[in-house]
Structure 1
């Protein structure tokens, strides 16, 4: 094969590869464009499902994911801003669902969301993300056990503050056999979150609504 023929073949192959790359990029971009709204819708539905578990619909008549403000405070277990969803009923604040972090889980940070009524009563708690040991620490999730339901209906007060621990530490909440660190971290995070809401409720309610599903 002559040099000229070889160069022509290389150019031809290069052109084919370039066209293929352009087409592939276009397909990826088109697929992303077509699925973007669907993904956003699924994220919104997932968020609403969780929010309605910790702040049931009979306690609010507004769209929760649109009534969201970002809150930054070490009491929430992180330096990052965390979303707080404001529930209102007939135009009046009824409850707050706020995300926070238990930074001292056995396998790292545990993200939770806590729903709190205006009088400080816990409506519900759910785990949003965790990396705890399967079969042990992951029992903090409702799909694995009912442990997280222990907090529903409870308050955090100065009088009962010493009982906001697992039973192994002299508190009122169960731990798991072979896994005390995980529930200990979650109990502490819930306590700190509720205390923060109780102490900063008006501040949270007066903030600008500036977050939510994009």
Structure 2
């Protein structure tokens, strides 16, 4: 029993020091990570709503307790010269490998101004191609019903990644629906 106490004590000290260092590193990196995430989000918003002089104001965010319909996690109003020009909606529909986080810009006429896939857990070389401009750029200018061609729509699905393509299409549709249902589209 006495032979175990010394190694156990050493292990306890090493574990305590490692935990303390991990806590310090977490605190030190928290703010720079938050700043980088904010920069990345701002850049994505500017890409999906490419209008000169646009300013974004968050109007609903589930991360701070707001309730939004479906898989929508955040809605920001896009304003130009103080007037509403549209919205940027972040959705998280389910793809093949999990949630596919999409950011969709929608103008006040109910037309998609841009779409980007922010994050995903899709298969490399298949569903991961949803981040390729050749896929996501086809959404710009769309309105009404958004579906992949296999389901009778006009979105060209990624070969062998129909589930991912449907998820991105569902995210775009959910963004359009939110704007239409909440008075954003005239």
Fold in common (TM above 0.5): yes
In structure 1, the partner of 2:32 is 38
Cα deviation, 1:35-88, whole Å, max 9, x if unaligned, reads 22211211111111211111235151x3x3x534235113xxx3xx61101111
Gaps of 5+ in 2: 62-66
Gaps of 5+ in 1: 1-5, 203-214
- 1:118 matched to 2:108? The reply is yes
In structure 1, the partner of 2:163 is 181
Cα deviation, 1:63-114, whole Å, max 9, x if unaligned, reads x3x534235113xxx3xx61101111111111210111323x2233322111
RMSD, matched Cα: 2.9
| Larger RCO, structure (CA 8 Å, separation 6 or more) | 1
Specify the SS of the correspondent of 2:142. coil
Cα deviation, 1:113-147, whole Å, max 9, x if unaligned, reads 111111112111111222222212221113xx521
1:1-214 alignment, distance < 5 Å: 14=9, 24-56=18-50, 58=52, 60=54, 62=55, 64=56, 67-70=58-61, 71-74=67-70, 78=71, 82-103=73-94, 105-142=95-132, 145-156=133-144, 161=145, 164-201=146-183
Q: How many residues align?
A: 178
Distance 1:45 1:85 in 2: 15
Distance 1:138 1:21 in 2: 38
**Length-normalised TM-score, structure 1:** 0.69
In structure 1, the partner of 2:64 is none
CA separation of 1:19 and 1:54: change in aligned 2, threshold 3 A:
same
Specify the SS of the correspondent of 2:42. helix
CA separation of 1:23 and 1:147: change in aligned 2, threshold 3 A:
closer
CA separation of 1:27 and 1:59: change in aligned 2, threshold 3 A:
same
Distance 1:181 1:21 in 2: 44
Distance 1:192 1:32 in 2: 35
Over 3 Å off, 4+ runs: 16-30
Distance 2:107 2:115 in 1: 12
Distance 1:121 1:59 in 2: 19
